Structure 1
Amino acid sequence: MSVGPVNQPDVDIDLGRLFKAVWERKLLVAGLTAAAAGLAFIITGMINPLYKSEARLLIETREPVYSSDQNRTGSDAAMLDERAVTSQVEILRSTDLVKQVARELDLSSREEFDSAANTSAIGNLLVLVGMKKDPLLVPADERVLKEFYKKLEVYAVPGSRVIAIEFSSEDPDIAAQVPNALIDAYLTSQSGAKLENNTDASAWLEPEITKLRQKVRESEEKIAQYRSETGLLLVNQQDTIAAKQLSDISTELSRVRAERADSEARAQSVRNALKSGQSVDAISDVLGSALVQRLRESEGSVRAQLADLSTTLLEAHPRMKGLRAQLADIERQILAEIRKVLSSLESNARVAKIREEELTAQLNELKAGSAREGEEAVELRSLEREAAAQRDLLETYLGRYREAASRTEPKALPADARVISRAVPASESHYPKKGPIIIVAAFATLLLSTVGIMLGELFSGRALRPSTPMLRDEAYQAEAEPVVAAAVPVSPNADIEAGTAALPIIANEADDFTVEAVAEQLVTDQVSVAVCVSPEGDEGSATSVMLARTIAGEGLQTLLIDLTGSACPTELMAESLRLPGLTDLMCGEIAIADSIHPDRLSSAHIIPRGNANARRAMRAIDRLPMVIDALTEAYDIVIVECGAADAAAIARIARADTGEIVLSILHADEAAVKTLLADFHEHGFEDVLLMTPGEPLSPLGNRSSAA
């Protein structure tokens, strides 16, 4: 025997076997399902129905129409974020609010909310023996609150500022009254909180306003006293007397300087005209004199007369001399008048200069005093700022006080919430839903019972089979089809060959040759050693592994010895192909206990093929019967899987009177079966137990059971 590569074998789940096991226990599954459905029906019928009602509340900032803070609505609405809404949810669940609603609706008088007040006899007995705490020791209010919170559910609707209030009760009217009463109590408490805030604000503002009025009065008195002491008296809303004087003198000085300059200019123009002998008729000051105007008229009249008489009279004529003398006198008077005008202008200029000097002196004096007034004005402005601040604060407090005083009624202070919908009594119960509960209970029981049966088959190994050699050769590229081979029930009276005696074939009462039937037969007959022969190789050896696991599932101590050349049982059952096993035992390298290993998928044990030299181990094969006899002392049954061995080889390790021969055949072949049976008969094995995992099929060509 050569050692193959070390790998973990693949096994397939026999789905047909799983469903067959469920079908065999269909009455149990149906009974459990029906019992679960009936129990669910009874339990739901015993439960008192619960009715649920819901009310909804929108959290928003609300102010009276006449409020002066209407511009704050947008900012206040922005402050109602998710945490603010969650805070309102906790307020609605607050103990004080719940107690108030419980008292208003008198919930403590209802057994639904205070079941501890009417305890049963069993409950009283448990309290007496100390196995249960006396519920009456807990105050009635706390008992009602505990039950109230179990039935109450308050939550914020995701993505909104809406709060939903749900309440469950055995009475549909109570289920609707509680959310509505809770909302009313919440709105009242919110309005009351605002009213309390206004009352507190009014109580605090009133003495503060009185104090501020006194402070404003004192500040204004200080300002008036300081102005009186420093002379910083106001002549209007802004200017003091000194500032007003300084401004007036500056204005007057500018005017006087302008007059002086104007008088000097006009006098100079008259002076220049007289000095140069030019006509002064164009000078405005001369023309403005009434006397000069009359003299010019007289001069014109005299000149007209001279011109008129010069045509008739000579220059020496007395009349002509008289007119010329009169004209010269008029010119002297005009010149004298012009000199007077010049003297008047010069006099005005001198007066203006004197006035300018006086105003300049006064201005200098005022400027010298303005520095002192500036320092005093700094202190004055400080006093004025303090008085203005006190006055503004007083005005603010007065406005707040008037606004708070106007909100003395609860209706004037709406709560920051609005009712969207109120709760109404429910027409149908919320719990229990009998139909869905019964269906779910029945389906769950059906599913669990089916899964339990399947898991039992999987853990026992009866529903597991190895992958076919084709899968291992092709690196498990495709999923193997389950082996559906026919059983080979051979009639005890059938002739194997012409002229030979009939060979007896062991079969159970129903002529069933499946793995389960063979396992039941071996257990019933209390067979201690079963030698399995698999003419078809690894597929038959895999059936022997299923036989060992099935017997182990019945609670018997089972051991399988791998005597095959391919090590198929070792590959299916052992953790590794490198484990020490039969060849190591035959070579004397290990003890019997060291060669035994547990099965990976069941409670059976296996002696794997081993790692020692196969030729050397075969020299000591005659020792195997003694090893098997020793193992039967520790195990209920020892199964020796020999693979595709002939009768002669089997005769070396098993005697016809001590062991049971199990012929594992998957694909029925009449000629091959006849040859095998004849071979075993010739070596003294008259009773052969056929085993196949499929449907019975007679090797003689018919599908009738063995007689």
Structure 2
Amino acid sequence: MSVSPMTQADVDIDLGRLVKAVWEKRVLVAGLTAAAAGLAFIVTGLLNPLYKSETRLLIETREPVYSSDQNQTNSDTTFDDRAVTSQVEILRSTDLVKQVARTLDLSSREEFDPAANPSAISDILVMLGLKKNPLDVPAEERILKEFYKKLDVYAVPESRVIGIEFSSQDEALAAQVPNALVDAYLAFQSGAKLETNTDASAWLEPEIARLREKVRESESKVAEYRAQTGLLLVNQQDTIAAKQLSDISTELSRVRGERADSEARAQQVRTALQNGQAVDAVSDVLDSPVIQRLRESEGNIRAQLADVSTTLLDAHPRMKGLRAQLADVEQQIVSEIRKVLSSLESNARVARLREEELVAQLNELKAGSAREGEEAVELRSLEREAAAQRELLETYLSRYREAASRTEPKALPADARVISRAVPASEAYFPKTGPIIIVAALSAFLLSSIGVMLGELFSGRALRPSSALVGDPTAAPVMANQAAAVPVAAAFAPSGDQSESHSAALPQISNDADDFSVEAVAEQLITDQTPVAVCVSPEGDEGSAAAVMLTRTVAGDGLKTVLIDLTGSACPTELMAESTRLPGLTDLMCGETSIADSIHPDRLSSAHVIPRGNANARRAMRAIDRLPMIIDALTEAYDLVVVECGAADAASVARIARAERSEIVLSILRSGEAEIATLLAEFNAQGFDDILLMTPGEPVSPLGNRSSAA
């Protein structure tokens, strides 16, 4: 059998060698670092220092103390972020900048117009057409360009404060420019208000004259209409007709009351006379002086009659005379009562006639009032028009008086206030010699060190063979070159002291393939249609990770695959399950969950996993005899059941696996020939004739990966 060629092993970077190389070239690195620091020192010494000053401005609403709005609430809230940003743009406006440039005579400073004195090199480049002649640009535009380079206007976040920064080679000028810019801005704001105020006054003056004429015309129309329609006012509200209607209504109510009273009293007297009742209780009868005198005479006569009746008989002339007088007085009383009744009836008739007359007048006034109502509608319309014109005139007059009082710039403060003026800086902000030298030296040191390291890497002196890396189930681990160099076949060839044990294991070797990789083992299991694969990992979690890779490889080929975690460290559970607290094998063995509830999907493939579980492991081991039945049940639903046992011995595996239906997979990474031969002998003793060797890296033997009975 020919030996398969070995593949090139991976390499690692030797960090120690890289550091050593830098140390060996320390003179070069230090020289470059010192040169960079010296060059930085020279360059910073040649640069002109720049000074920076700042002025701060607070945007707020400002009104004169005599303003009509001084009692209103503060309107600072109207300045939102967009309003403050607008003020920033005004401060950067070309008109303000030009004004400041003219005020400070910046055109006379070479700092703001370096193109005015071009160098010889610049003239040559212009002559050759390689550079545009800077003098073709107007001087004012060149000054503005340099000005904006040195100017920085910004809004302070979460506030209405605006900062104006300016840098210059002259520390005094660096402070003068932002102060002058702020003064120009405040003057611009006040001037804008003054201009607005002047325009308002100029517009209001003719409008007021026009409104006065309109008010006069409107009030004249109201007066003329009142005179024409007779809607003259008696007081501030009532017209003559309305007043008459009110008075007649009042008089009619009074006359009706008198008539009703007279009729009632006359009826009372009439009823008393008709029924022969005494009328002395009637107030009108009692109030009559004649009846009072007659009643008094009647009383005297009756008194005399009673006095003489004691001594005289009824037939006596004296008695007859007194009786005749009494009858005459009574007749007079009745006659006088009738006169009272006649007077009451007469009063009632007069009141009735007066009532009829008042009703007629009232009806006539009502008819006139309806006509006046229609005329009053037009009158009220004219009055509303006159009132509206008068109110508008008063408003215009008030605004005009207010605008006239603000004819001076000081009377109109800008909606901004300086809270911090710029002062000349005591030290330059650029260049910072110390930090620049430090940065230059550090950069030179890093670049030179990196250059030395790259040289070592490209030469190969900083590379060394890599070690086997296991643990990531998504990538195949790599075997060390040294481990893969020893052929497994030597473990089964008799030599030296081990000839006896090796000769016992040698008949079990079968050369089915030359590949021990996970993919080869997966292909072998799929080809043989193996229902159960028991993976044993003598080297612990690294081998268990290979079992996870085997499970995912088989599932990737379209087979339904499940892995049972029998390890003590729960490595497959951590690599495949969403959580290590999911119910699994120990819970199933203890009867705390069902098979369906213990199966969970793999995080990275279509395979399934039965985690280790959360129940007590010792208690679960008491029911280990149930595991073969569980495995048999799973084979009915899955194409392949992978049982990862970890570092288990052959006797333990024999308790859960049936030799006729199971394949034993030894996951070997770094074990030597003796350890592999011992493991094969142990499993052969337990009745497992076919053993699959799996190394998730370089092939370790040219003899294949399946062992079989001789």
TM-score by length of structure 1 reads 0.63
Deviation at 1:242, TM superposition (A): 2.8
Per the alignment, residue 32 of structure 1 pairs with 32
Per the alignment, residue 497 of structure 2 pairs with none
Per the alignment, residue 156 of structure 1 pairs with 155
Q: Could you tell me whether the CA contact under 8 Å between 1:52 and 1:168 is conserved in 2?
A: yes
Q: Could you tell me whether the CA contact under 8 Å between 1:33 and 1:446 is conserved in 2?
A: yes
Per the alignment, residue 169 of structure 1 pairs with 168
Long gaps (5+) in structure 2 = 487-513, 515-710
Per the alignment, residue 632 of structure 1 pairs with none
Per the alignment, residue 113 of structure 1 pairs with 112
Question: CA 1:263–1:465 in structure 2 vs 1: closer, same or farther (change >3 Å)?
Answer: same
Q: Could you tell me whether the CA contact under 8 Å between 2:186 and 2:416 is conserved in 1?
A: yes
C-alpha separation in 1, matches of 2:319 and 2:471 = 173
C-alpha separation in 1, matches of 2:464 and 2:204 = 93
C-alpha separation in 1, matches of 2:248 and 2:474 = 121
Counterpart check, 1:336 vs 2:359: no
Q: Could you tell me whether the CA contact under 8 Å between 2:190 and 2:414 is conserved in 1?
A: yes
C-alpha separation in 2, matches of 1:466 and 1:158 = 57
Q: Which amino acid aligns with 2:273?
A: L
Per the alignment, residue 447 of structure 2 pairs with 448
Question: CA 1:119–1:312 in structure 2 vs 1: closer, same or farther (change >3 Å)?
Answer: farther
Deviations 1:258-282 (A, max 9, x none): 2211111111011112222222222
Q: Which amino acid aligns with 1:368?
A: A
Per the alignment, residue 636 of structure 1 pairs with none
Q: Could you tell me whether the CA contact under 8 Å between 1:471 and 1:477 is conserved in 2?
A: no
C-alpha separation in 1, matches of 2:66 and 2:187 = 21
Deviation at 1:204, TM superposition (A): 0.5
Per the alignment, residue 255 of structure 2 pairs with 256
Per the alignment, residue 50 of structure 2 pairs with 50
C-alpha separation in 2, matches of 1:69 and 1:55 = 30
Long gaps (5+) in structure 1 = 484-533, 540-566, 568-707
Per the alignment, residue 237 of structure 1 pairs with 236
Deviations 1:243-266 (A, max 9, x none): 333333222222222221111111
Deviation at 1:200, TM superposition (A): 0.5
SS in 1 for 2:158: coil
Identity of aligned residues (%): 78
Q: Residues 576-655 of structure 1 correspond to what in structure 2 (within 5 A)?
A: none
Question: CA 1:167–1:4 in structure 2 vs 1: closer, same or farther (change >3 Å)?
Answer: same
Q: Residues 111-510 of structure 1 correspond to what in structure 2 (within 5 A)?
A: 111-308=110-307, 310=309, 323-468=322-467, 470-471=468-469
SS in 2 for 1:69: coil
Q: Could you tell me whether the CA contact under 8 Å between 2:470 and 2:477 is conserved in 1?
A: no
Question: CA 1:210–1:472 in structure 2 vs 1: closer, same or farther (change >3 Å)?
Answer: closer
C-alpha separation in 2, matches of 1:246 and 1:535 = 132
Question: CA 1:347–1:9 in structure 2 vs 1: closer, same or farther (change >3 Å)?
Answer: farther
C-alpha separation in 2, matches of 1:198 and 1:474 = 80
SS in 1 for 2:397: helix
Q: Could you tell me whether the CA contact under 8 Å between 2:10 and 2:465 is conserved in 1?
A: yes
Deviation at 1:37, TM superposition (A): 0.8
Task: Tell me how many residue pairs correspond in the alignment.
Answer: 486
Deviation at 1:392, TM superposition (A): 1.8
Question: CA 1:105–1:298 in structure 2 vs 1: closer, same or farther (change >3 Å)?
Answer: farther
C-alpha separation in 2, matches of 1:83 and 1:9 = 65
Q: Could you tell me whether the CA contact under 8 Å between 1:60 and 1:80 is conserved in 2?
A: yes
Deviations 1:400-445 (A, max 9, x none): 1111111111222111112211112221211111111111111111
Q: Could you tell me whether the CA contact under 8 Å between 2:36 and 2:441 is conserved in 1?
A: yes
Q: Which amino acid aligns with 2:343?
A: S
Question: CA 1:145–1:354 in structure 2 vs 1: closer, same or farther (change >3 Å)?
Answer: same
C-alpha separation in 1, matches of 2:400 and 2:472 = 96
Deviation at 1:199, TM superposition (A): 0.7
SS in 2 for 1:112: helix
Question: CA 1:365–1:30 in structure 2 vs 1: closer, same or farther (change >3 Å)?
Answer: same
SS in 2 for 1:235: coil
Question: CA 1:9–1:256 in structure 2 vs 1: closer, same or farther (change >3 Å)?
Answer: farther
C-alpha separation in 2, matches of 1:195 and 1:362 = 68
C-alpha separation in 2, matches of 1:35 and 1:98 = 44
Deviation at 1:536, TM superposition (A): 9.8
Deviation at 1:333, TM superposition (A): 3.3
C-alpha separation in 2, matches of 1:322 and 1:411 = 120
SS in 2 for 1:401: helix
Question: CA 1:110–1:346 in structure 2 vs 1: closer, same or farther (change >3 Å)?
Answer: same
Counterpart check, 1:70 vs 2:90: no
C-alpha separation in 2, matches of 1:108 and 1:466 = 71
Question: CA 1:178–1:302 in structure 2 vs 1: closer, same or farther (change >3 Å)?
Answer: farther
Deviation at 1:5, TM superposition (A): 10
Deviations 1:212-270 (A, max 9, x none): 11112222222222233333333232333333333332222222222211111111011
SS in 2 for 1:12: strand
Question: CA 1:263–1:84 in structure 2 vs 1: closer, same or farther (change >3 Å)?
Answer: same
Q: Could you tell me whether the CA contact under 8 Å between 2:54 and 2:422 is conserved in 1?
A: yes
C-alpha separation in 2, matches of 1:536 and 1:24 = 34
Deviation at 1:356, TM superposition (A): 1.8
Q: Which amino acid aligns with 1:152?
A: L
Q: Could you tell me whether the CA contact under 8 Å between 1:60 and 1:417 is conserved in 2?
A: yes
SS in 1 for 2:38: helix
Question: CA 1:20–1:364 in structure 2 vs 1: closer, same or farther (change >3 Å)?
Answer: same
Per the alignment, residue 85 of structure 1 pairs with 84
Question: CA 1:268–1:424 in structure 2 vs 1: closer, same or farther (change >3 Å)?
Answer: same
SS in 1 for 2:178: helix
Per the alignment, residue 697 of structure 1 pairs with none
Q: Could you tell me whether the CA contact under 8 Å between 1:61 and 1:73 is conserved in 2?
A: no
TM-score by length of structure 2 reads 0.63
Query: Which stretch has the larger CA shift, 452-461 or 14-23?
Result: 452-461
C-alpha separation in 1, matches of 2:185 and 2:388 = 41
C-alpha separation in 2, matches of 1:206 and 1:2 = 115
C-alpha separation in 1, matches of 2:258 and 2:135 = 113
SS in 2 for 1:154: strand
Question: CA 1:131–1:279 in structure 2 vs 1: closer, same or farther (change >3 Å)?
Answer: same
C-alpha separation in 2, matches of 1:13 and 1:401 = 88
SS in 1 for 2:231: coil
Question: CA 1:345–1:11 in structure 2 vs 1: closer, same or farther (change >3 Å)?
Answer: farther
Question: CA 1:329–1:456 in structure 2 vs 1: closer, same or farther (change >3 Å)?
Answer: farther
Query: Which stretch has the larger CA shift, 168-177 or 327-336?
Result: 327-336
Q: Could you tell me whether the CA contact under 8 Å between 2:11 and 2:463 is conserved in 1?
A: yes
Deviation at 1:303, TM superposition (A): 4.0
Query: Which stretch has the larger CA shift, 18-27 or 328-337?
Result: 328-337
Deviation at 1:207, TM superposition (A): 0.8
Query: Which stretch has the larger CA shift, 309-318 or 348-357?
Result: 309-318
Q: Could you tell me whether the CA contact under 8 Å between 2:233 and 2:240 is conserved in 1?
A: yes
Deviations 1:611-636 (A, max 9, x none): xxxxxxxxxxxxxxxxxxxxxxxxxx
Q: Which amino acid aligns with 1:61?
A: T
Per the alignment, residue 14 of structure 1 pairs with 14
Q: Could you tell me whether the CA contact under 8 Å between 1:246 and 1:363 is conserved in 2?
A: yes
Deviations 1:631-687 (A, max 9, x none): xxxxxxxxxxxxxxxxxxxxxxxxxxxxxxxxxxxxxxxxxxxxxxxxxxxxxxxxx
Deviations 1:45-101 (A, max 9, x none): 111111111121111111122222235544x32221100011011111111111112
Q: Which amino acid aligns with 2:18?
A: L
SS in 2 for 1:70: coil
Question: CA 1:343–1:52 in structure 2 vs 1: closer, same or farther (change >3 Å)?
Answer: same
